[in-house]
Amino acid sequence: MTTWYAKAQSRMKELGRTHDELASHLRLTRSAVGHYLNGRREPCIDDLRIIAKVLNWTIDELIGDGPQAARRVPVAGTAHPSSDGIWTDLATSKSEGSLVLPSSGDGVYAVRVVGDCFAPVIRSGWFLLVEPHRDPVGGEYILVKTTAGLSMVRELLFTTGELITLSSVVPEKGRQTLHADECEYMHYAGMVVPPSKWSLNQ
């Protein structure tokens, strides 16, 4: 099956569109657009809509028959972070449901966030799409779980040797540094999803 980004590249050639033109519409750098069009980064649904519009397509024409087609992404549970944005366990029930949206790769899941500690970036009741198969880079949001069992959403700033420097999603809460030995995992968290995309599993 053809990926959405291969289709987009072909369509850009057909229409004579450039990376710079697409970057201007997306308000991103040419390099960021290159990551999208080479499959190294997954655009959010709003960026996919803009790309489709620039290519004179509907979003269904862009993503409809590739592996990026809309599918059900399971909701792993609900996080109730404290004021510092940390939680220990996800609250789960039999009816966590799923999100219906474009995603790629195995193991993709969502976490519902309840509370205002990440507002306005992540609103209470909204979901965080987590893609464990993608390697995060500086400036991206990640879901971190420490070996002490603490979970948090942070912005990855940079890694230096064995040290991982993170920033709170809400800037006024500051930075922190973890040693690699303290980190059980860091999963790329590339999209904040509104509750309108949620449904109970049928």
Count other Cβ atoms within 10 Å, centred on residue 86: 16
CA dihedral 192, 161, 36, 121 (to 10 degrees): 20
End-to-end CA distance of the chain: 27
Per-residue pLDDT at 95 = 67
- Per-residue pLDDT at 27 exceeds 70: yes
Pairing of strands 163-168, 151-160: antiparallel
Longest dimension (CA), the chain: 53
Token pair, residue 54, equals: 């620039």
Residue with tokens 């999963």: 187
pLDDT tens digits, 136-177? 888 889 999 999 999 999 999 999 999 999 999 877 778 999
- Per-residue pLDDT at 180 exceeds 80: yes
Q: Which domains does the chain carry? A: 4-63 (1.10.260.40), 70-199 (2.10.109.10)
Token pair, residue 97, equals: 């449901």
pTM over 0.75: no
pLDDT tens digits, 92-110? 876 688 888 766 567 889 9
